[in-house]
């Protein structure tokens, strides 16, 4: 769990006086001296690290970004939003998708597609689902991985519209090597794939505020000393990699950015067309796809009007007294899907002006050895306030289909969805538009265990709610309908027999099926 940096936590700095005003205001001379000391020590340590190996040009660039972030971390005080200044976004700054859709598509949509590149955030590992290596390489449907599905989607665009839409993967040092090995299998596909690395930043000892790393290597304990600094890093590392300039020179104007584990994040031609048909002087530089909040997503970031700009408000930025208000589904009705459409020339301009400003997320961690560290991160959507004519589009829920857990995986593997050209669509046989609520217990957390426990994926077309806990297995061709709760207490085991149909049932106790 992470939280936004609300006030500089070092006790010495805070003990003097806690100023809740703007940046820097009221920082005493003493505090300023301390801050300087921390910053200088950090810079010295970074130089020492660089001197441990040769050929560190990329790392030097990374460290420039890190220094900037660390500087802001030491300086920023007080909550980053003043609750009284928050306004509801003006009517036309969050448009319903239906209005965008109603405009229809022009003949020349291929020309618009040729100005687009698709960027997938591919820095994450599959650890939380019990998998080694990049998350994008986990199989999600018919042996297809997240990456396979993405490639199929883009290839489909090429085939249908004869359009050239490149795929760009933002890798991290954790995922780059394994991803590149896999990319070879797409050489004969009709899709151009580019990759770039996001930065590698040093984790900071929570007490000393100095790097944990003893050298630049990633081997052994020292491997734990580094982290990829969140997807807000995309702007800097995309520019630094040279790829942004390359795409601009090929006539690309927008990128569509999304998490690689969001299977609903397909290229939407209507949104693309909306962007491309704006008059040049009113070009919308940033679109955030938002969707209606349900009780399951009360923690998601939302859009507010602040200082005359659209701004992303995350729960961690909310003063404690207003957290319940923030979570309410009636006051803040929508949340960020992290599907973003961003103007490439605008990124370049803001990067060159050095005016991309994103709230710092301080993510505390405990390393294997027990050491408490913090890592400073930023989120890509937080930059929305820096762009001109930013817009929210309230899209259907189907564009937000993240697979974070095996419960999500069960849904996307089931007959609730059908797969076509790499895209999942809700089956027409389902009579309600909502997805069932699925909660699988800890025996299902790892993908391997999950797969072992289902001989085949149950029929879920009429399911509303499923809770499974304990040592439970499912035979072939089980059907689940309505609300089904299956609970095997400690020491018990429940095998749901092949062909069983459970409708509005609670199953508990012991139910063994033995081979004979
Ligand atoms: C990206 O990171 C990997 C892992 O650290 C490294 O091997 C590779 O050379 C990097 N690529 C570039 C272009 O810097
Ligand atoms: C996409 O399609 C066009 C037209 O069929 C083709 O010329 C182009 O090379 C294709 N792009 C890729 C990357 O294969």
CATH number of the domain enclosing 255: 3.90.550.10
351 plus 413 within the same structural domain: no
pLDDT at 328: 85
Model confidence over 317-355: pLDDT tens digits?
Answer: 888 888 898 888 888 899 999 999 999 999 999 999 999
- The reported pLDDT for the residue numbered 381 is 96
Number of domains in the chain: 3
Helix (H, G, I), strand (E, B) or coil at 250: coil
Tokens of 31: 């505090």
Domain-ending residue, one of 75, 102, 121: 75
| d(CA 117, ligand 1 centre) in Å | 22
Q: Which domain holds residue 487?
A: 406-508
Instruction: Specify whether 193 is located in the same domain as 305.
Output: yes
Find the ligand nearest to 122 CA.
1
Q: Which helix (H) or strand (E) holds 214?
A: none
Q: Residue 514: inside a domain, yes or no?
A: no
**106-125 confidence digits (pLDDT tens):** 988 999 999 999 999 999 99
Q: How far apart are CA 514 and CA 415, in angstroms?
A: 28
Same domain, 71 and 115: no
pLDDT band at 78 (very low <50, low <70, confident <90, very high): low
Expressed in percent and rounded to 5, the helix, strand and coil fractions of the chain are 35, 25, 40
* Cα-to-centroid distance, 157 and ligand 2 (Å): 10
Q: Is residue 465 part of a domain?
A: yes
User: Concatenated DSSP letters for 299-341?
Assistant: TS-EEEEETTEEEEE-GGGS-GGGHHHHH-TTTS-EEEEEEEE
Q: Is residue 280 located within the same domain as residue 424?
A: no
- For 101, 102, 158, the CA distances from 271, given in Å and listed in that order, are 8, 11, 18
Q: Are residues 431 and 390 in the same domain?
A: no
For the chain, percent of residues with pLDDT exceeding 90 = 75
> Could you please report the per-residue DSSP string of 439-468?
EE-GGG-SHHHHHHHBSSPPB-TTEEEEEE
Pocket test for ligand 2, best of 152, 157, 158 (most atoms within 8 A of CB): 158
Shared domain check, 383 and 368: yes
Residues 215 and 155 in one domain: yes
Q: Domain ends where: 369, 399, 429? A: 399
Task: Report pLDDT for 79.
Answer: 63
Could you tell me if residue 1 is inside a domain?
no
Q: What's the chain's average pLDDT?
A: 90
206 catalytically annotated: no
For 491, the enclosing helix (H) or strand (E) is: none
Shared domain for 327 and 463, answered yes or no, is: no
Q: Does residue 410 sit in the same domain as residue 395?
A: no
* Domain membership flag for residue 513: no
**Residues 441 and 385 placed together within one structural domain of the fold:** no
Which residue's alpha carbon is at the smallest distance from atom 14 of ligand 2? Answer: 190
Domain shared by 173 and 107, yes or no: yes
CATH number of the structural domain spanning residue 461: 2.160.10.10
Examine the domain organization and report whether 388 and 428 are in the same domain. no
For 487, the enclosing helix (H) or strand (E) is: strand 479-487
Q: Which of 420, 425, 431, 421 is nearest to 482 (CA)?
A: 431
Q: Which of 75, 93, 119 finishes a domain?
A: 75
Average pLDDT estimate for 487-516: 89
Is 475 inside a domain boundary? yes
- The reply to whether 425 falls in a domain is yes
């Amino acid at each position: 769990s992470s939280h936004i940096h609300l006030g500089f936590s070092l006790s010495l700095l805070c003990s003097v006086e806690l100023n809740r005003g703007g940046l820097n205001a009221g920082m005493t001379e003493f505090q300023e001296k301390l801050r300087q000391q921390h910053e200088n020590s950090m810079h010295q340590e970074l130089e020492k690290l660089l001197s441990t190996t040769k050929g560190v040009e990329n790392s030097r660039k990374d460290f420039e970004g890190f220094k900037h972030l660390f500087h802001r971390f030491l300086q920023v005080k007080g909550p980053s939003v003043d609750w009284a200044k928050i306004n509801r976004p003006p009517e036309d700054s969050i448009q319903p998708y239906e209005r965008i859709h109603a405009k229809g598509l022009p003949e020349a949509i291929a020309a618009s597609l040729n100005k687009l590149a698709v960027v997938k955030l591919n820095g994450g590992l599959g650890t939380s689902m019990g998998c080694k290596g990049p998350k994008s390489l986990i199989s999600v449907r018919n042996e297809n991985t997240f990456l396979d599905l993405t490639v199929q989607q883009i290839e489909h665009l090429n085939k249908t519209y004869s359009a050239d839409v490149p795929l760009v993967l933002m890798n991290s040092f954790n995922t780059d090597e394994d991803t590149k090995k896999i990319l070879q299998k797409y050489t004969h596909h009709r899709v151009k794939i580019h990759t770039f690395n996001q930065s590698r930043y040093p984790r900071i000892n929570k007490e000393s505020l100095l790097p944990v790393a003893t050298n630049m290597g990633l081997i052994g304990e020292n491997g734990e000393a580094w982290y990829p600094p969140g997807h807000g890093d995309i702007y800097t590392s995309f520019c630094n990699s040279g790829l942004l300039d390359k795409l601009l020179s090929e006539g690309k104007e927008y990128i569509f950015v999304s998490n690689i584990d969001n299977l609903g994040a397909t290229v939407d031609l209507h949104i693309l067309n909306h962007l491309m048909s704006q008059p040049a002087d009113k070009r919308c530089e940033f679109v955030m796809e938002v969707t209606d909040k349900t009780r399951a997503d009360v923690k998601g970031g939302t859009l507010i009007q602040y200082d005359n700009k659209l701004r992303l408000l995350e729960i961690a930025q909310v003063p404690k007294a207003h957290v319940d208000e923030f979570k309410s589904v009636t006051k803040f009705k929508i949340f960020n899907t992290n599907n973003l459409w961003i103007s490439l020339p605008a990124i370049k301009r803001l990067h060159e002006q050095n005016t991309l400003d994103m709230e710092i997320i301080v993510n505390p961690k405990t390393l294997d050895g027990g050491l408490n560290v913090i890592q400073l991160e930023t989120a890509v959507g937080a930059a929305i306030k820096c762009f001109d004519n930013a817009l929210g589009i309230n899209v259907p829920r189907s564009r937000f289909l993240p697979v974070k857990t095996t419960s999500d995986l069960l849904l996307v593997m089931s007959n609730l969805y059908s797969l076509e050209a790499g895209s999942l669509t809700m089956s027409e046989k389902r009579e309600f538009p909502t997805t069932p609520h699925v909660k699988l217990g800890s025996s299902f957390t790892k993908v391997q265990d999950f797969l072992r426990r289902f001989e085949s994926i149950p029929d879920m077309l009429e399911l509303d709610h499923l809770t499974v806990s304990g040592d439970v297995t499912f035979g072939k061709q089980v059907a689940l309908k309505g609300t089904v709760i299956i609970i095997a207490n400690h020491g018990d085991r429940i095998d749901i027999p092949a062909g069983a149909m459970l409708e509005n049932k609670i199953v508990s106790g012991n139910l063994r099926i033995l081979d004979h």
